[in-house]
Amino acid sequence: MVEDCNYTIMSTIIEHLSETLNNHDASQLNIRLTGLHGENESSALELSSVELLEKLARANAIDSYGNIGTAPCVLTGKVHVPEIGTVQLAKFRQLWPNLDISYDGEAVPEWTVRFVNANGVALTDFNNKPYIQIVRNKNSAYDPVVANEIPTPTKAADAQYSYTFSGWNNLTGLVESNRTVTATYTSTINSYVVRWFEEPGESPILSYTENYGTDITTYE
């Protein structure tokens, strides 16, 4: 816990804090930084980017949909960043209502890209949290499986088919509004073993494999 976080104090601890957040589970840390300000109390503490705020946001156990769980991280005061996205800004203001965040120009438009399975259920990351991407306006979303940010999606087999993940529907193209991306699958027809017996309990006299839906002729 650090109170009255002026420029000198914050400059000293910011590098250590960033390293700590890199090396530990942020949601397990109890961080309280109050009275953030610049070289005088009326000015804002200058941050080079929103990176530190994003790391501190993870310490609030905020999920991908913006819902706050436990909130051990407290920030108050004034900070300034050169650039911030609209979704980021809304999240930070929800987390820290007593933190005045200023920035140059206007907040950059951002959009939410949600990833769902073929049945419409939200896909989750490796921590079983709903997975989304926040994408700047007219930028592209990316494949979270290739990026190793989520497990490869799966679809349960049915009697006729087994399914293999093949990619995404609606992933490509510049993002200019909120978007839902859906997992796609290729299907392989299931095969079954057919066995013929002369008497129950005896060894089969004939055994072969047929695809689902194939007509079985009577054994002669």
Q: What are the 10-residue block averages of pLDDT along the chain, 220 residues in total?
A: 54 60 57 80 87 77 48 81 94 92 95 97 92 94 97 97 98 97 98 89 88 81
Same domain, 139 and 202: no
Last residue of some domain: 69, 87, 103?
A: 103
The DSSP line for 123-192 is PB-TTSPBPEEEEETTB----TTTTTSSPPP-----SSEEEEEEEEES-SS-B-S-EEEEEEEEEEE-EE
Same domain, 218 and 168: no
Last residue of some domain: 103, 130, 148?
A: 103
Run of H or E residues at 57: helix 51-58
The answer to the question of residue 18 being in a domain is yes
73: nearest Cα among 37, 28, 18, 12: 28
DSSP 109: P
Same domain, 87 and 13: yes
Look at residue 185 in the predicted model and tell me its pLDDT.
Answer: 98
Where in the sequence is the domain holding 16, given as residue range(s)?
7-103
Same domain, 183 and 198: no
Look at residue 64 in the predicted model and tell me its pLDDT.
Answer: 45
**Number of domains comprising the chain:** 3
Same domain, 56 and 142: no
Note the pTM of the prediction, 2 decimals. 0.70
For residue 211, give the 3-state DSSP assignment: strand
Same domain, 181 and 219: no
- The interaxial angle of helices 86-95 and 51-58, nearest 10 deg, is 50
**Residue 114 β-bridge partners:** 132, 180
Look at residue 80 in the predicted model and tell me its pLDDT.
Answer: 94
Same domain, 136 and 179: yes
pLDDT tens profile 4-28: 555 556 655 655 665 665 555 555 5
